[in-house]
Amino acid sequence: MTDTVGETGAAGAGRTRKFSELLRHHHREVGTTDPRDLDAIEMVTDLTRLEARLTKDFEKHVHRPLGLTWAGFRILNALWVYGPLPQQDISRFSGSTRASISSALATLESRGLVARERVETDRRQLTVELTDEGRETLRKAIEAQTRRERAWTAVLRDDQLSELVHLLRTLVNQETPADD
């Protein structure tokens, strides 16, 4: 069976290999021949495709059944990790856009999962924090997502998973490269 974002099963693995070959072939046609550049192109493409598949899978199997969205989960998770946050900082800590934060916060607040309070010293500012119900919903989401993450990473040996985590952390924690 093939889903709309990625491939599954043995037949899907063949399509993925074919995609990689075609991707490299087309990049060579437009003049990209450095093997490191081709590897970087394939890595970014694969990470983007994987992120889309993971998001779709987590939304379907974890977040929607709990009445959450991916953005809502990330907001709850950021508040759990960092504690109460100024509303304007939530997009930076949750990895969501400011537009999706506003909408998601309204939904989370209406469900009683977060509470917003005006800052005493600056009434224009809002601080957002998890409620007890928000913590409980997040606990359920984390349990379900951990099961999905375990399933997704089952194809890797422990040492491969550790190395992948190390490599991704290295990429994520670098400064944004300067413009050319």
Name residues whose C-beta falls within 8 Å of residue 58's C-beta, 6 or more positions apart in sequence.
70, 73, 145, 148
Q: What pLDDT does 15 receive?
A: 67
User: Among residues 103, 176, 122, which one has the least CA distance to residue 94?
Assistant: 103
pLDDT in tens, the chain (180 residues): 344 444 455 555 566 668 888 888 889 899 988 889 999 999 999 999 999 999 999 999 999 999 999 899 999 999 999 999 998 899 888 877 888 888 899 999 999 999 999 878 777 788 999 999 999 999 999 999 999 999 999 999 999 999 999 999 999 999 999 987
Considering the four listed CATH numbers 1.10.10.10, 3.40.50.720, 1.10.3300.10, 3.40.630.30, the one that applies to the domain covering 67-154 is 1.10.10.10
139 alpha-carbon distance from chain centroid: 18
Q: What pLDDT does 12 receive?
A: 59
Q: What pLDDT does 9 receive?
A: 54
Q: What pLDDT does 16 receive?
A: 64
Assign 95 to helix, strand or coil. coil
State the pTM of this model: 0.76
User: In 7-64, which residue ranges form alpha helices assigned H by DSSP?
Assistant: 9-29, 35-58
Q: What pLDDT does 174 receive?
A: 93
Give me the residue spans of the domains in the chain: 1-66, 67-154
Q: What pLDDT does 14 receive?
A: 62
Q: What pLDDT does 118 receive?
A: 87
